[in-house]
Amino acid sequence: MNALARELNGILEGTSAARLLSGIGRALYFPKGIVAQSAEAKQQATRFNATVGMAFQSGSPMILPGLSELLPNLSAGEAVAYAPTSGLPKLRELWAGEIRRKNPDLGKTPISNPTVVPGLTGGISQITDMFLDRGERVIVPDMFWGNYRLIVEVKGEGELVTFPFFNKKDDQYEGLNLDGLKQTLLEQRSRNKAIVFLNFPNNPTGYSPTVSEIEGIIQTIYDAAEQGIDILAVTDDAYFGLFYEQGTYTQSLFARLASLHERVLAVKIDGSTKEEFAWGFRVGFVTFGSKGLNADQYQALEKKLMGSIRGAVSNSSVIAQNLLIKLLESPSHQAEKQVFADELRKRYEAARSCISSADSEVLTPLPFNSGYFMSFELNGVSAEALRKKLLEQGIGTISIQDRYLRVAYSSVDLNDIEALYTEIYRAADELGEK
Question: Per residue in 245-297, pLDDT tens?
Answer: 999 999 999 999 999 999 999 999 999 999 999 999 999 999 999 999 999 99
Q: Is the pLDDT of residue 309 over 90?
A: yes
pLDDT of 2:
93
Q: If you count them, how many residues does the chain have?
A: 434
**AA letter at 341:** A
Question: Per residue in 93-127, pLDDT tens?
Answer: 999 999 999 999 999 999 999 999 999 999 999 99
Strand order in the sheet with 374-378: 363-365, 374-378, 404-407, 398-400
Cα-based angle 251, 257, 259 (whole degrees, multiple of 5): 115
Question: Among residues of the chain, what percentage have pLDDT more than 70?
Answer: 97
**AA letter at 43:** Q
Question: Per residue in 350-404, pLDDT tens?
Answer: 999 999 999 899 999 999 999 999 999 999 999 999 999 999 999 999 999 999 9
Strand partners, 168: 173
pLDDT of 50:
72
Tally Cβ neighbours within 10 Å of residue 188: 21
Please report which confidence band the pLDDT of residue 33 belongs to, taking 50, 70 and 90 as the band edges.
low
Task: State the average pLDDT over residues 60-85.
Answer: 91
Please report which confidence band the pLDDT of residue 221 belongs to, taking 50, 70 and 90 as the band edges.
very high
Question: Per residue in 156-188, pLDDT tens?
Answer: 999 999 999 999 887 788 899 999 999 999 999
Contacts (Cβ under 8 Å, ≥6 apart) of 273 = 119, 120, 238, 279, 281, 282, 283, 284
pLDDT of 212:
95
pLDDT of 47:
66
Question: Among residues of the chain, what percentage have pLDDT more than 90?
Answer: 88
Question: Residue 156: which of 308, 298, 314 has the closest Cα?
Answer: 308
Tally Cβ neighbours within 10 Å of residue 391: 11
Q: Is the pLDDT of residue 44 over 80?
A: no
**Domains contained in the chain, CATH given:** 3-30+85-329 (3.40.640.10), 334-433 (3.90.1150.10)
pLDDT of 34:
65
Does the bond joining 201 to the residue before it have cis omega, within 30 degrees of 0? yes
Please report which confidence band the pLDDT of residue 61 belongs to, taking 50, 70 and 90 as the band edges.
confident
Task: State the average pLDDT over residues 3-27.
Answer: 97
